[in-house]
Chains A and B, each alone.
Chain A
Amino acid sequence: MQTIIENLQKHFQVVSYHQQRENLGFLIASKEVAVGLITHLRDYEGFAHLVLLTAVDWIEDEHFQLTYLLHHPEKKVDLGVRVMISRENAEMYSIHHLWEQARTYQRELREMFGINFPGSPDVDKPFILEGWEEIPPYRRDFDTKEYSEKTYFPRPGRETHDPAEYMKKKLYPNE
C-alpha cells in the first residue's frame, strides 16, 4: 500500500493520505487531477475494480465529497479517492469511459445529490425517483420527515420520541 502511494506521489500531487486499515486507505485529490489519477490507478497500478462511487454532503463546509473506491484484484487492497467539489453548481468530470457501471452511479448521484456529470450517457434521465419536484433528497437540507408528513397522510396515533430522553423519563423519572 505504502509503495503504491509513494509511486503515486511521483506523478500526482496527493494532498493527504490516511490509512484506515492495512488494506484500505483514503487520499484526497483535487477535482482537476482526480480523473487522471483514477485513470493512472486503473491502468498502471492495477486498481481495476470500481467498488463504488458515492457522495457525502458536508453542508457546513459548503462542499460535496465524492468518494471513488477502487479495488486492486491482485494485491487485494482498496484505495478511496476523495474529491471535494463545491456545493454550488456541483459538477464533476465523468468517468463513464473507464467503467461501464460508472454511468449508473453518476445517474444516481445526479438525481439524489444534484451533482452533474456532463457527458455521461443518460445522466439526466430519472433513475430512481419519478416526477420529483423538491431539492435532491440526499442533500442534508432536505427534511424527509417534514416532507413525508406534508405529503403522505400520516395515520393519527403515532408518537415519536427521542429514544434517550424517553428511556430516561420511563426508567429513571426521578433523576
Chain B
Amino acid sequence: MSKKLLKWNEDRTLFPEKNSEGKIDVDYDSHKFMKIWHGPQHPGITGNMSLELTLLGDEVMDCETHVGYLHRGFEKLMERRKYIQCFPIVCRVAVPEPDFNEYCFASAMEELAGIEVPEAAEWLRTLVLEMSRLQSFLAWMGGQAGSLGQGIIGQWTIYLRDLILDRFEELTGGRIYHMYMLPGGVRGLLPDGFRQRMTENLDEIDRFMKDVKKVMFDNAVFKKRTVGMGVIDPAWIHPFGITGPNARAAGVAKDVRKDNPYLKYPELDFEPVVGKDSDIYTRADVRRRDLLMTVDLIRQIMAKIPDKGDIRAKTPNVLHWKVPAGETYSRAECTRGEYGYYMVSDGTEYPRRINVRGPSYTHAVALLEKMIVNANIADVAGLMVSLHTYPPEIER
C-alpha cells in the first residue's frame, strides 16, 4: 500500500512516439531536446571515448558512441614490423590486461609455425593470465562502485591490485606491461618465495572481498541503483555478439576457458559463473564471484605449477623467422569476454595482417547504444561501467 502511494504514476503520453527503428524523431528546433556530450574529457567515462546523448528531461532518448580517440593503428604498425618486433607492442593494445594480447599473439604464431610450448611454460602462462584477470577485475570493481559515488571501494580494490602488480613485477619485471610470453615460451621461472607471497596476497584479497561484499553488494542504496537497471535480454546475446560476464549474467554459460579449452585450463577445476537477472547488480555479482573463482584458480595453479623445467621451445632465429603461410584465429577469455587475434601470414618475415578482436567492440558500440535509451542520465556512467568496456581494444 505505502509503496503504491509513493510510486509516481508516470505519464508517458508526453513522450514522443518511437518510429519503426525503435528510435524517436529528434527535432532540436522544438527546444524540447538537449544534446550532451559525455566525454572524452569526463571523469565518468571508461577510458577515452565519448557518448553523444540526446536528452529529453532526464531521460536519454538517443545515443551515439564515438570512438577513435585512442587509435594508434596497431594493425598497420604490425604489418611493417617483424614478428619479434611486434611482440613488444602487442601488449600495448589494451592496458588493463596486456597479457591476453601477448598470449593470443604468441599462440596464433606458434600455431602457424607449428611450435609446441613446454609444459612449464604453459603453466606459467596460465598463471599470468589468471593474475591478469584478477587485477583487471579489481580495477573494474572500484570503477563500478565509483561510478555510483562510492569511492571507498575503489581505494580498497586498487590497493589490492597493487599487491598483484607487485607479484607481476617480481615475476616479469614490469608493472603494467609485462612482455612475458614470448612466441615459443615465457621469459622466466617463478622466483624464490613467490608462492609464499602470492598466497599471502590472495588471503588479503579474500579478506577484503568480504568487506567489499558487505559495503557494496549488501548496500541498500547500491541495490536500489542497480537492481533491475540495464537489463540485457538473453535473446540479444548472439545478435550482438555478447561474450564474457555480460553474457554469463544473462544466464548463458559462455566461457572460452570451458568451451575451447586452452593452456592448462582442462586440468583445473572450475565452473563458469552464471547469473540470472542480467541487470547491473547481477553483472557486478557475476564479476565478484568470477574474481573469487580466479583467486581459487590461482591457488590451484600454484599447487600444480612446476618449479623448474624447460620454459622455451626451440625457435628459429627470431630476426629471420619466416612464419609459414596460413591463417588462424586464437582466442582467450579475458575479464570482458572473448579476446582474439586473427593472424594471416604470407610466408615472409612480416605478418600480412593481424586483427584484434576485443570484446568491447560489440559491447561499447552496438549494445551500449541500444541499452542506454530510456536510461536516466544519472545511470549512464554506471551502465557503461557495468558493461566493462575498454576503448583501446575497439579502435586499437
A binding-site residues for B, Cβ under 8 Å:
20-21, 23-24, 26, 48-52, 54, 56-57, 67, 69, 73, 76, 78, 80, 99-101, 103-105, 126-130, 137-138, 140, 142, 144-145, 163-164, 167
Contacts and interface: CB of A to CB of B under 8 A. Distances in A.
Nearest to A60: B346
Contacts of A167: 319
A134 B366 CA distance: 28
Interface stretch (B117-125, B151-159, B164-172, B336-344): B336-344
For the complex of A and B, 3 pairs with smallest distance between CB atoms? A128-B68, A48-B238, A164-B319
A20 to B, nearest CB: 5
A23 B241 CA distance: 19
A127 B370 CA distance: 18
A151 B324 CA distance: 36
A51 B340 contact: yes
- By size class, the interface of chain B is 35 or more
18 contacts: A52-B340, A52-B355, A54-B355, A56-B344, A69-B342, A76-B260, A100-B366, A101-B365, A104-B362, A104-B365, A105-B361, A127-B67, A128-B71, A129-B68, A130-B68, A138-B76, A142-B76, A144-B77
A54 B136 CA distance: 27
B342 A49 contact: no
A105 B362 CA distance: 9
B288 interface: no
Contacts of B80: 144-145
A86 B353 CA distance: 18
Contact of A21 (B68, B328, B355, B366): B328
B395 interface: yes
A21 B328 CA distance: 9
A115 to B, nearest CB: 14
Contact of A137 (B67, B76, B319, B365): B76
Given A101-B362, A128-B68, A137-B73, 8 more contacts: A51-B331, A78-B329, A100-B239, A100-B241, A126-B68, A129-B71, A144-B80, A164-B319
B85 interface: yes
Given A20-B327, A163-B319, A99 B357 contact: no
B76 to A, nearest CB: 5
Nearest to B21: A121
Nearest to B326: A20
A21 B111 contact: yes
Contacts of B395: 128
A138 B357 contact: no
A126 B365 CA distance: 14
A149 B95 CA distance: 27
A26 B87 CA distance: 26
A167 B77 CA distance: 22
B79 to A, nearest CB: 7
Contacts of B254: 73
